């Protein structure tokens, strides 16, 4: 699909800063090669790919979406898990509702925002609740983690469950609070080359992502190993 | 081009047959709502008739399953409202027809200017229609209709909004441009009909009630409306020996112009000036004496028009004062037989 | 107007200039302006005939046609994008035939234009239809009796008379195209310089750099306000009173 | 119209009924209809005066005002949602004062209505302004000379004359409110029965059950077509020819 | 209510002062574009004047920094176009004024129906305005204006579109309702002015050129337009012993009505019927002999109107035929001194 000297990478929105740097590194290491990046929610990207979007690499934030593409025969070889992300409680600066741990999220007077169970971060939130044995009465179940973060950042919500990487990326705009059950709620990120794409260049890019440089950048952004 | 038309619009009760000879101008007169504008709209192609047919020269305007669109008819309509295009200057309004005919911009404008001069409106050439007075707009609309050189020109009350100072000039302009051109002009003004039209048709309630040369219609009206137009009194009835009798039993003695068999529908016509007014029934030589109730008095210059129902008498102001006439008074209208024209309807 | 004040109050003015002059921002703005203009032209090309048909003809299926024209208004943009994918995508209704012709629309700048035209078209059609209806057909009838054929009437009477309606329809279409987000993302993707328009860039920046997102939003607002203002200034002075 | 065909072709008719009658679908449809109707009413309440001011008065800042009214059209809905957050949110411009009054908008159906009204208002204002402008003020002038005060003129002359414009403005607003997605998501959140309208439900279903999403999209389309069709049927027969 | 107004609209070159006494009807005549409609628009409050002032009874309509909105003026305007509200039935159009005055729906409708009957239009009560003919719409508009019981009624050419059959009835209706009511009526019709107005004002190019009782203006016109209206010939010049001399040197001998000092501006007026036409200059007793070129011939019934520049002569058709008159011919207009009325301008 792409020309011989370009690599088109479709990546989950949460990978934006890491992959932007990786793309620059890739272009530096492979003179004459150009990386085109497209970021969006994993399932948006998957829909586009099903419809024939011209990509060489797909990095998803959810195993389920990647599996869908595998079934459709769009993926070359087997996807590789290259990172994982864990949930963290995000609260507005100053923590106005005094949230100290996961248990406080069950307090009906605390306004908590979660991802909807249908999306990866929501699925993880369900797992975390099960592990902690509590039920959070969310005031909203968002369809993407960005929207959860947005509600917390604006002070609209007292707390939200987001990924560690989101808390890190948001800098001072939110405060993060670790909780024990977070290791029960891990999301794995798979990456793969596309059948129709420039497979050779895609492989090179995959190597960069799974290689030491990629792993270093990912871990700096808060991702854990897969 | 000669027009032969039979126009039917059932929803407005219109059923009119008329012809316009090549080069002839026909005036249509009639009361408000008679169907005059409707007739023109059908001929121009703006309204689809329910039936009938019309041909202009060799062209079928409409008829059995045929309906020619307005722009192919060669018929130009000056509607009752000026309807100048608000987004075009006065000059471009008039140039619109010539340009639609395919003329270049400069030629069309030059022609438009000539027509504006004809109607004494060239000074408004650069204005927008919204900046014209009512009469000015009307004159521009006339120029616009004339500039299309139509095969058949339809004019709906072209002089209605004109002032008395331009009316004669416009009438002369129209007379000049209507000469040798087939045209129909709707008007409420007898003078327009007299001066512009070869033939006059009177339409009433959607039907033709009179038709003939303008002079004939005005001098020998067969309808109340025609008589009113001509300022004449009209009495309709059945002919009897030496006169006519109405359904109400009123008997008028009069001389028939042509021998008139008894029992035929007839019209008696006489001028209001031939009518004398008496407070008591006069005796003497046999005359027509009609008892009436005064409904209205109208002073016109030195004459007073005494109206009683659909009859009227013109007498001098002095006589009116002497008789002490007031509306509601019962008086007698008296007419000499020799003053009455009697003819078949 | 408060929401605008709210946005302005959130702008990080110190870095405003650097935020909006980054390569990706400039590329996105340029792409947005280009595609929105092309979309507006396409809206005029397709919308004017549609508006004329809706306003001036009368046929049984007309109500349905009007409703269908309105469709993209009510369709959430994302669904609209999906519908476009089902239509023009490689596996879509037309996609296969287009592919045979060697045309690949999805995920190209063409796709952006299609998405924008799709969502913006109803704005033009509806404004214009309303204008044509309220202008009435009296002047058109007069023009016809002056010998003007339908084409001439359209060009010299109808369109000039409804020009204000056409212009506001174009402004609306342009504005809608400029703000289009969901359908573009789904149907055209988000490739810098190719399909990533300003709204997509704003969306993306929000993930990582909310300041940049706010600054870019303000740019979008300013562009839109300028376009609207200019369009209204170019209007001819209207009719008169009594 | 092809995109509609494309959607229809993708519907899983076998399960269509069960897909659209699930609890969450019904809740979302009910919420959408309710909020869209309320928003339309609010658009009329706020939009009619705005349209009158824009069409009938002439003051220096008018061009700016018109541009501001158009703002929500050009703002990508998500940005609109952010702007609303900055305005009505707990830390927003008005939020603190609202909180003092004990009014809490966040995550409530009220927030949905606000978001929908915000994006739909320009549609009503613009349609109506156009209609008022093209109606001209000749009849209003006549009414004034017949002794009618401005209120009477508005009620008995202006509004009835521009009724077609008002109705199409209402249809447009309703359609836009029904399809509103981004601003609602950003500003109001997404909770079943409270803030999750049909477009949000569609978006969410898409993640797990594309069949359901397509089926719901079709429901949305049908509702919109019905509303538009009904609105146009209720129109009074218009003027006449020459 | 009595009106005292001084109206200035610089952009249309209008500067008119006029008064209307309590209960008086004033007719305004004048050429197209003279500013008649503009004047009414200013009085009704539809157009802001550049200067001047107006008071109606005790109410200041406009003036120094005062400007009363139309609905508070008690002034009702019947505009040149009927402008019936298209969304209301004919009945509701007429009921609009009474309802705006605060009357209930039923009472307003009953009153509206009475006014429709007055103008003979009650049969259209349930129609939409778009379903009326031009003249029907005009009559309904008159009814609508009358139904408001205004302090001052302004009528702009109320009879323009009416047919000859309803014109007299409408004129009678207007005469009845205008009695005792302050009103201004713009018209191009002398008969309207004569029958409806107590006083007549002639406006030309934005200025009042004549003002006086209608009869006086028509019998003693001081302006060319006034003379044209009255169908009279007018010659303006400077008085000399026993007559007047024009700037072109034409000398007319005539008897002054009142002693007229020499050198004063004067007007000589005579009827076209008093003018004889000769092909060669007649010799004999001293008479007024004016050499002219025939510009136009108009036949009206048995008379032919021979026009030459701004003068005209009415002669019989037989005489015209004998003289073999054609436009362009040089002839002599001859008038007896006793037929000429001479007065100061
Ligand atoms: N659009 C319409 N729908 C129904 N009836 C109409 C319509 N327009 C006119 N009419 C009716 O049709 C009849 C003929 O109207 P038309 O306009 O032809 O009259 P007219 O002879 O031109 O009268 P006028 O002298 O007043 O202009 C009238 O009774 C009128 O009320
Ligand atoms: N909107 C306008 N803008 C500028 N000039 C105008 C406007 N309307 C009218 N005029 C001009 O003002 C003058 C007076 O117009 P007005 O309508 O008062 O004339 P009128 O005496 O009523 O004439 P008519 O007998 O033709 O109705 C005319 O010369 C006209 O061209
Ligand atoms: O890839 Mo996402 O941003 O967790 O949906
Ligand atoms: Mg008519
Ligand atoms: Mg006038």
Say what the pLDDT of residue C166 is: 87
pLDDT at C236 over 50: no
Summarize the confidence of residues B41-48 as an average pLDDT: 93
D211 three-class SS: helix
Give the gap in angstroms from C-alpha D190 to the nearest C-alpha of chain E.
45
Residue B13 in contact with ligand 1 by CB distance below 6 A: no
Looking at the partner chain, which of B45, B83, B130 has a beta carbon nearest the beta carbon of C139?
B83
pLDDT at B118 over 50: yes
D195: chain A residues, CB-CB within 8 Å: 140
Residue D35 contacts by C-beta under 8 Å, 6 or more apart in sequence?
D109, D112, D113, D116, D177, D197
Give the tens place of pLDDT for each residue, E176-221.
788 888 999 998 877 677 778 889 999 988 999 888 887 778 777 7
Q: Do B79 and D242 touch (CB under 8 A)?
A: yes
Write b or e for each residue in C202-232: b if 16 or more Cβ atoms lie within 10 A of its Cβ, otherwise e: bbbbbbbbbbbbbbbbbbbbebbbebbbebb
Summarize the confidence of residues E158-178 as an average pLDDT: 75
- Name the residue with higher pLDDT: A40 or C1: A40
What is each CA distance from C104 to A1, A51, C225, E164, E201, in whole angstroms? 11, 12, 35, 75, 80
Give the tens place of pLDDT for each residue, B310-334.
888 887 766 777 788 888 889 988 8
C158 three-class SS: helix
Q: Are residues B53 and B133 in the same domain?
A: yes
Q: Cα(first)–Cα(last) distance of chain B, in Å?
A: 31
Scan for tokens 């095969």, then name that residue.
Answer: B151
Q: What is the ipTM of this complex?
A: 0.73
Is residue B60 a part of any domain in this protein?
yes
Packing angle, helices B90-100 and B134-146, rounded to 10: 20
Is residue E226 a part of any domain in this protein?
no
Find the ligand nearest to B130 CA: 2
Scan for tokens 């109340």, then name that residue.
Answer: B224
pLDDT bracket for residue E97 (50, 70, 90): very high
pLDDT bracket for residue D79 (50, 70, 90): confident
- Name the residue with higher pLDDT: B52 or B267: B52
Please report, for chain D, the start and end positions of each structural domain, with discontinuous segments joined by +: 2-237
Nearest to D70 by CA among C57, A172, A109, C1: C1
Q: Are residues B160 and B276 in the same domain?
A: no
Is residue E110 a part of any domain in this protein?
yes
Say what the pLDDT of residue C45 is: 95
**Strand pairing of B341-344 and B296-300?**
unpaired
Summarize the confidence of residues E53-74 as an average pLDDT: 91
Nearest to A186 by CA among A224, A222, A149, A152: A224
Contact yes or no for A194/A58 (Cβ under 8 A):
yes
Residue A31 contacts by C-beta under 8 Å, 6 or more apart in sequence?
none
Q: Which of C133, C138, C239, C242 is the best substitution to test chain E (most E C-beta atoms within 10 A)?
A: C242
pLDDT at A57 over 50: yes
| Chain centre distance of CA E54 | 22
Say what the pLDDT of residue D233 is: 55
Q: Are residues E78 and E115 in the same domain?
A: yes
pLDDT bracket for residue C136 (50, 70, 90): confident
**Nearest CA, atom 12, ligand 1:** B12
Q: Are residues E158 and E20 in the same domain?
A: yes
Domain spanning C2-237, CATH architecture: Orthogonal Bundle (1.10)
pLDDT bracket for residue D115 (50, 70, 90): very high
B134 CB-side CA count, 13 A: 27
Give the tens place of pLDDT for each residue, D130-157.
788 877 788 998 899 888 888 899 999 9
Q: Do D152 and E83 touch (CB under 8 A)?
A: no
Is residue B145 a part of any domain in this protein?
yes
Residue B32 in contact with ligand 1 by CB distance below 6 A: yes
> How wide is the angle at C-alpha B122 spanned by C-alphas B116 and B127, nearest 5°?
110
Q: Are residues B51 and B145 in the same domain?
A: yes
pLDDT bracket for residue D234 (50, 70, 90): very low
Say what the pLDDT of residue D235 is: 45
Say what the pLDDT of residue A1 is: 43
Q: Do A118 and D86 touch (CB under 8 A)?
A: no
C78 three-class SS: helix
Q: Are residues E119 and E242 in the same domain?
A: no
Q: Are residues E259 and E214 in the same domain?
A: no
State which residue of chain B sits closest to C160, comparing Cα positions.
B87
Summarize the confidence of residues B225-244 as an average pLDDT: 80
**Proportion of chain A above pLDDT 70, given as a percent:** 99
D208: chain A residues, CB-CB within 8 Å: 118
Q: Are residues E64 and E134 in the same domain?
A: yes
Say what the pLDDT of residue E303 is: 65
Say what the pLDDT of residue C70 is: 75
Q: Do D147 and E101 touch (CB under 8 A)?
A: yes
**Proportion of chain B above pLDDT 90, given as a percent:** 33
Summarize the confidence of residues E234-247 as an average pLDDT: 86
Q: Are residues E129 and E278 in the same domain?
A: no
**Proportion of chain D above pLDDT 70, given as a percent:** 93
Domain boundary among E219, E240, E262: E219
> How wide is the angle at C-alpha B24 spanned by C-alphas B23 and B25, nearest 5°?
125
Say what the pLDDT of residue E64 is: 86
Instruction: Quote the number of domains for chain B.
Output: 2
Task: For chain B, list the contacting chains (3+ Cβ pairs, <8 Å).
Answer: C, D, E
Say what the pLDDT of residue D239 is: 33
Give the tens place of pLDDT for each residue, C179-213.
888 888 888 888 888 888 988 888 878 777 777 88
DSSP state of E274: G
Is residue B224 a part of any domain in this protein?
no
Is residue B29 a part of any domain in this protein?
yes
Say what the pLDDT of residue B248 is: 84
Say what the pLDDT of residue E262 is: 86
Is residue E227 a part of any domain in this protein?
no
Q: Over the Cα atoms of chain E, what is R_g?
A: 24
Residue B249 contacts by C-beta under 8 Å, 6 or more apart in sequence?
none
**Nearest CA, atom 7, ligand 2:** B131
pLDDT bracket for residue C178 (50, 70, 90): confident
pLDDT bracket for residue B299 (50, 70, 90): low
Lowest mean pLDDT among A142-146, C100-104, E203-207: C100-104
Question: How far does the centroid of ligand 3 lie from the alpha carbon of residue A141, in Å?
Answer: 14
Q: Are residues B21 and B130 in the same domain?
A: yes
Summarize the confidence of residues B205-233 as an average pLDDT: 79
Tokens of B308: 């009683």
> How wide is the angle at C-alpha E324 spanned by C-alphas E321 and E326, nearest 5°?
115
Contact yes or no for C194/C108 (Cβ under 8 A):
yes
Say what the pLDDT of residue B315 is: 78
Looking at the partner chain, which of D5, D7, D130 has a beta carbon nearest the beta carbon of C130?
D130
Q: Do D7 and C83 touch (CB under 8 A)?
A: yes
Supply the mean pLDDT for chain A.
Answer: 89
Scan for tokens 């195209």, then name that residue.
Answer: C177
Backbone angles phi, psi at B57, to 5 degrees: 60, -125
The number of residues in chain A equals 226
pLDDT at A2 over 50: no
pLDDT bracket for residue C100 (50, 70, 90): low
pLDDT bracket for residue D237 (50, 70, 90): very low
Residue C49 contacts by C-beta under 8 Å, 6 or more apart in sequence?
none
- Name the residue with higher pLDDT: D151 or C74: D151
Interface residue C98 vs chain A (CB under 8 A): no
Domain boundary among E219, E245, E265: E219
Contact yes or no for D199/D220 (Cβ under 8 A):
yes
Is residue B227 a part of any domain in this protein?
no
- DSSP symbols for A148-210: HHHHHHTTSSSEEEEEHHHHHHHGGGSEEE--GGGGGSEEEEEEEEETTS-HHHHHHHHHHHH
Show the domain range for E246. Answer: 232-344
Supply the mean pLDDT for chain C.
Answer: 80
Residue B104 contacts by C-beta under 8 Å, 6 or more apart in sequence?
none
* Residues D87, D97: Cα–Cα separation, whole Å: 11
B233 three-class SS: strand
pLDDT at E232 over 90: no
Interface of B with E in 278-317 (CB under 8 A): 296, 298-300, 307
Could you list which residues have their CB under 5 Å from ion ligand 5?
A: B 133-134; E 37, 80
């Amino acid at each position: 699909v792409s020309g011989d000297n370009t690599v088109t990478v479709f990546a989950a929105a949460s990978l934006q800063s890491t992959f932007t740097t990786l793309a620059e590194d890739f272009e530096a290491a492979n003179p004459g090669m150009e990386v085109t990046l497209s970021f969006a929610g994993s399932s948006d990207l998957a829909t586009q790919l099903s419809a024939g979007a011209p990509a060489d690499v797909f990095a998803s934030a959810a195993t389920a979406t990647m599996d869908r593409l595998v079934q459709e025969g769009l993926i070359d070889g087997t996807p590789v898990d290259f990172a994982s992300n864990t949930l963290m409680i995000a609260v507005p600066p100053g923590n106005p509702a005094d949230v100290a741990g996961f248990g406080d999220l069950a307090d009906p007077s605390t306004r908590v925002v979660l991802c909807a169970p249908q999306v990866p971060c929501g699925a993880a939130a369900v797992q975390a609740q099960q592990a902690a044995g509590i039920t959070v009465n969310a005031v909203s179940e968002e369809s993407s983690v960005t929207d959860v973060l947005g509600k917390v950042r604006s002070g609209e919500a007292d707390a939200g469950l987001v990924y560690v990487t989101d808390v890190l990326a948001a800098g001072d705009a939110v405060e993060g609070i670790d909780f024990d059950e977070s290791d029960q709620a891990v999301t794995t990120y798979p990456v793969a080359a596309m059948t129709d794409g420039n497979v050779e260049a895609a492989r090179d890019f995959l190597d960069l992502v799974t290689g030491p440089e990629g792993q270093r950048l990912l871990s700096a952004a808060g991702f854990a190993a897969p | 081009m000669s027009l032969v038309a039979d126009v039917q619009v059932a929803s407005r009760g219109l059923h009119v047959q008329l012809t316009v000879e090549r080069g002839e101008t026909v005036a249509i007169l009639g009361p408000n709502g008679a169907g005059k504008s409707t007739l023109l709209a059908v001929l121009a192609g703006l309204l689809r008739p329910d039936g009938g047919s019309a041909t202009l020269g060799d062209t079928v305007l409409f008829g059995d399953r045929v309906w020619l669109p307005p722009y192919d008819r060669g018929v130009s309509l000056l509607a009752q409202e000026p309807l100048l295009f608000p987004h075009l200057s006065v000059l471009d309004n008039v140039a619109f027809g010539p340009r639609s005919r395919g003329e270049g911009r400069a030629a069309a404008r030059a022609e438009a200017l000539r027509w504006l001069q004809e109607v004494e409106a060239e000074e408004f050439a650069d204005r927008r229609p919204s900046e014209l007075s009512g009469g000015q707009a009307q004159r521009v609309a006339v120029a616009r209709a004339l500039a299309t050189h139509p095969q058949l020109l339809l004019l709906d009350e072209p002089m209605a909004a004109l002032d008395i100072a331009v009316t004669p000039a416009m009438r002369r302009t129209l007379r000049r441009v209507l000469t040798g051109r087939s045209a129909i002009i709707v008007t409420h003004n007898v003078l327009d009909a007299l001066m512009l039209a070869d033939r006059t048709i009177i339409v009433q309630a959607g039907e033709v009630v009179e038709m003939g040369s303008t002079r004939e219609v005005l001098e020998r009206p067969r309808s109340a409306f025609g008589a009113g137009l001509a300022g004449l009194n009209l009495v309709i009835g059945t002919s009897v020996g030496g006169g006519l009798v109405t359904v109400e039993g009123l008997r008028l003695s009069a001389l028939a112009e042509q021998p008139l068999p008894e029992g035929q529908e007839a019209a008696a016509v006489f001028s209001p000036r031939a009518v004398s007014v008496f407070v008591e029934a006069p005796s003497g030589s046999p005359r027509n004496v009609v008892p009436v109730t005064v409904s209205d008095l109208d002073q016109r210059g030195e004459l007073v028009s005494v109206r009683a129902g659909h009859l009227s008498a013109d007498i001098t102001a002095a006589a009116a004062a002497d008789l002490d006439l007031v509306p509601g008074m019962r008086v007698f209208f008296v007419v000499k037989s020799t003053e009455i024209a009697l003819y078949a309807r | 107007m408060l929401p605008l004040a709210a946005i302005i109050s959130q702008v990080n003015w110190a870095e405003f200039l650097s935020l909006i002059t980054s390569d990706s921002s400039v590329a996105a703005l340029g792409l947005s302006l280009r595609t929105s203009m092309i979309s507006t032209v396409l809206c005029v090309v397709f919308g004017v005939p549609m508006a004329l048909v809706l306003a001036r003809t009368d046929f049984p299926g007309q109500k349905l046609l009007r409703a269908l024209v309105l469709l993209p208004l009510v369709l959430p943009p994302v669904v609209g994008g999906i519908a476009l994918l089902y239509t023009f995508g490689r596996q879509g209704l037309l996609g296969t035939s287009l592919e045979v012709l060697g045309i690949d629309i999805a995920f190209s700048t063409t796709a952006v234009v299609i998405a924008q035209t799709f969502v913006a078209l109803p704005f033009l059609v509806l404004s214009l239809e309303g204008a044509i209806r309220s202008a009435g057909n009296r002047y058109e009838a007069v023009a016809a009796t002056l010998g003007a054929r339908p084409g001439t009437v359209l060009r010299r009477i109808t369109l000039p008379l409804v020009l204000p309606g056409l212009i506001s329809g174009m402004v609306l279409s342009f504005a809608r195209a400029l703000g289009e987000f969901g359908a573009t993302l789904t149907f055209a993707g988000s490739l810098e310089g190719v399909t990533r328009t300003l709204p997509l860039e704003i969306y993306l920046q929000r993930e990582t750099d909310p300041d940049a997102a706010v600054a870019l939003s303000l740019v979008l607002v300013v562009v839109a306000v300028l376009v609207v203002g200019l369009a209204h200034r170019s209007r001819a002075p209207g009719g008169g009173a009594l």
